[in-house]
């Protein structure tokens, strides 16, 4: 099943608001897709996704390009 990106990260990057939104969505959906837009800072993308997953108490299911799928622990 194709999941649409429910969280998009832009030029402001990863903020507390983004973390809170990811936590809220994981409570509702258990699986979410996060996409880094073209205007986002994509340097060290995998490290940023690992940090996001750790801070939001989630596991990384898949990383493709600049998109990641997280699952609630």
Say which CATH number the domain at 52 has: 3.30.110.60
Range of the domain at 31: 7-72
Structural domains in the chain (count): 1
66 near 34, Cβ under 8 Å? no
Task: Tell me, yes or no, whether 2 lies in a domain.
Answer: no
Measured CA to CA, the distance from residue 36 to residue 43 in angstroms comes to 11
pTM: 0.90
Task: Tell me, yes or no, whether 39 lies in a domain.
Answer: yes
What integer pLDDT is reported at residue 3 of this predicted model?
A: 84
Task: Tell me, yes or no, whether 37 lies in a domain.
Answer: yes
| Number of CB atoms found within 10 A of residue 16's CB | 8
Task: Tell me, yes or no, whether 1 lies in a domain.
Answer: no
Each of the 73 residues of the chain gets a pLDDT tens digit; together they read 578 999 999 999 999 999 999 999 999 999 999 999 999 999 999 999 999 999 999 999 999 999 999 999 9
């Amino acid at each position: 099943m194709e999941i649409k990106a429910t969280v998009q990260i832009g030029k402001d990057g990863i903020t507390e608001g983004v973390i809170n939104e990811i936590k809220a969505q994981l409570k509702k959906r258990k699986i979410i897709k996060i996409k880094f837009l073209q205007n986002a800072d994509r340097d060290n993308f995998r490290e940023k996704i690992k940090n996001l997953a750790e801070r939001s108490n989630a596991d990384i299911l898949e990383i493709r390009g600049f998109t990641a799928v997280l699952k609630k622990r």
